[in-house]
Copies of this chain bind each other. A is one copy, B any other.
Amino acid sequence: MSEFRPPVADLTFALEHVVGYDQIAQLPGFEHADHDTVVEILSEAGGFMAEVVAPTNRAGDLEGSRLNADGTVTTPTGFKEAYAAFVEAGWGSVPLPEEFGGGGFPRTIGLALQELEMEANMAFALAPLLTQGAIEALLGYGTDEQKQQWLPKMVSGEWAGTMNLTEPHAGSDVGALTTKAVKRADGTYGITGQKIFITFGDHDLSEQIVHLVLARTPDAPAGTKGISIFIVPKFLVNDDGSLGERNGVHTVGVEHKMGIHGSPTCVLSYEDATGYLVGDENIGMRIMFVMMNSARLSVGTQGLAVAERAYQQSLDYAKERVQGRAIGATESSPIIDFPDVRRMLMTQKAYIAALRRMMLLNAVNVDISTHHPDAATRARADEIVGLLTPICKSFGTDLGNELTSLALQIHGGMGFIEETGVAQHYRDVRIAAIYEGTNGIQAADLIGRKLPVRDGASALEFIASMRELDGELAAAGEEFASIRTQLTAQLDTLEQTTMWMLRTGPTDPNSALSGSSPYLRIWGLVVGGWLMAKSALGARGLDADGIAEAQLPLARFYAEQLLPQAAGLVGAVTAGSHDLFALDADTLADRAPSRARV
């Protein structure tokens, strides 16, 4: 197992030279979050994650979280101690409001911390991730009293939070949920129903768990318009703030999953559990989207984070493993000297760098959208967040799968042996393309909700803004020529397919949906290429340290060898729905066997 090296240097480079973090540090309320302070925080956090959290990753996989006979859930060896140290250090509270004990840092920095945490142990990092989602919902929609009651201990991490959406027949279709919420005389609600796939739905890390539960009041409208959201704590809280009796929520199962074994994925049964309404009745979906948009960016970052960890391991292996002779070598060579291994390493590194910049750019826009003094600037940043979020989520997690596969491949036969550890990353990250809205749902969101914003002007303006790099690339000379050529070509691809989507979507939504996933992939490839080009430009004139000198070769590799794939996807985007629906279910199943003919 190789040691985890927190990629703090690349994070700080990207913040400073690519995504314009300096604008954030100048926003009102973020004055204390200057670059030097941020570098210090990330360095310290990186050390903490490497020393305290990363060592729990393997035990988490081997032991898993388990449901005991008495209905309690025990997390793997080391999780409890690591979580206590995490709370003690206050890492979860860094991006949360000072009013409730947080550090008042931007979301951008919170996301960078999440990346480091997820690199150390993806399963473990889900506990604070879900807590943060619940906090964001309460910050947005809770009453002052609710905020005072729940937030301080959630912000500190002493109390954990969860998000309870899914039911057996209500997964992607949240509106189909049937959990009931019946109002009582005292203003609280009695919650009854079963929830599945509840991440860290129960555990032994914190004394209290604050569930945010989607449910339906008896007279609620059908579908998503009739969903309300409730705080349902594991333990009722006494007036003095101490924990009282057990609430009517119980863990009836912990799933046996392919990965993230350390994270208990629970089946929770609610039996007239006491719940407190958040906001008004029937606005639950609006509140959920607050949590979900934030969580989608975090999940995209999971793809990147697990890929980074696996990449590091594959790099270490490639340097150490001696096997055969490279061209021109007179002795046995480490496999890093073989071109195809280099291709796998560079592919990982270039995509990881692109993804990191994409996630941070999204987060920077989150911060602008919430903290910029100018309303128009906030509104535009909010549009950009809306546009980038499905791309970050899907492209990040698809690549999470593909890149961990490359890391495994570099290990040869050892990659398939569990003791090596790289297989865990491949298994762990696989869920990220599914949860928080499957990647197909992200693609539908991109074309169905985000492209239509201002009749397409929002997306087209973003494309135009990417084209603005062209002058700088032209002036940057011969070394940037192929980057410029490819970026222009694939921006054209993106624009053409965007125009096709804008034309097709309103009249033939099935055709637009048919091309939505490859279309999202084109966006990911192009935004990544643009950010890598920015990165190479940003590195000019800096001392040629490791990060700075890597940017031009990475950007060129990306532009010449990865970015052109976008053009290869145009056919899949624009083919329409006809052939996708040409075969009926029986034919898809070969139900009518060919008769033998001689």
Contacts and interface: CB of A to CB of B under 8 A. Distances in A.
Given A427-B427, A571-B564, A591-B546, A517 B580 contact: no
B510 A339 contact: yes
Interface in A521-568: 542-543, 545-550, 553-554, 556-557, 560-568
A330 to B, nearest CB: 13
A169 interface: yes
Interface string A490-514: 0000000000000000000111011
A532 B410 CA distance: 32
A184 interface: no
A246 interface: no
B430 A338 contact: no
Given A345-B588, A417-B256, A431-B416, A593 B171 contact: no
Interface stretch (A4-12, A116-124, A133-141, A455-463): A4-12
A405 interface: yes
A582 B592 CA distance: 56
A570 interface: yes
Given A172-B323, A408-B430, A561-B571, A597 B35 contact: yes
Contacts of A9: 590, 592-594
Given A36-B598, A171-B412, 7 more contacts: A172-B412, A316-B589, A339-B511, A413-B434, A415-B434, A546-B593, A547-B593
B417 A596 contact: no
Interface residues of A, number: 124
A592 B545 contact: yes
Contact of A409 (B419, B438, B593): B438
B342 A514 contact: yes
A interface majority secondary structure:
helix
26 contacts: A5-B589, A9-B594, A12-B596, A16-B597, A171-B323, A171-B413, A312-B589, A315-B585, A339-B511, A339-B513, A339-B516, A340-B444, A342-B580, A405-B430, A409-B439, A413-B431, A416-B434, A427-B427, A542-B597, A546-B592, A550-B587, A553-B579, A554-B583, A557-B579, A560-B575, A565-B568
A444 B440 CA distance: 35
B418 A438 contact: no
Interface of A: 5, 7-10, 12-13, 16, 34-36, 39, 166, 169, 171-173, 176, 196-197, 255-259, 312, 315-316, 319, 322-324, 327, 332, 336, 338-346, 349, 401, 405, 408-409, 412-413, 415-419, 423, 426-427, 430-431, 433-435, 438-440, 443-444, 486, 509-511, 513-514, 516-518, 542-543, 545-550, 553-554, 556-557, 560-572, 575, 577, 579-583, 585-598
A188 to B, nearest CB: 30
A413 B435 contact: yes
A186 to B, nearest CB: 36
A7 B430 CA distance: 28
Contacts of A444: 340
B517 A343 contact: yes
A360 to B, nearest CB: 15
A105 to B, nearest CB: 17
Contact of A514 (B324, B343, B549, B591): B343
A452 B243 CA distance: 76
A549 to B, nearest CB: 6
B579 A547 contact: no
A312 B319 CA distance: 41
A133 to B, nearest CB: 17
Given A176-B323, A340-B443, A553-B583, A595 B332 contact: no
A317 B591 CA distance: 16
Contacts of A553: 579, 582-583
A10 B590 contact: yes
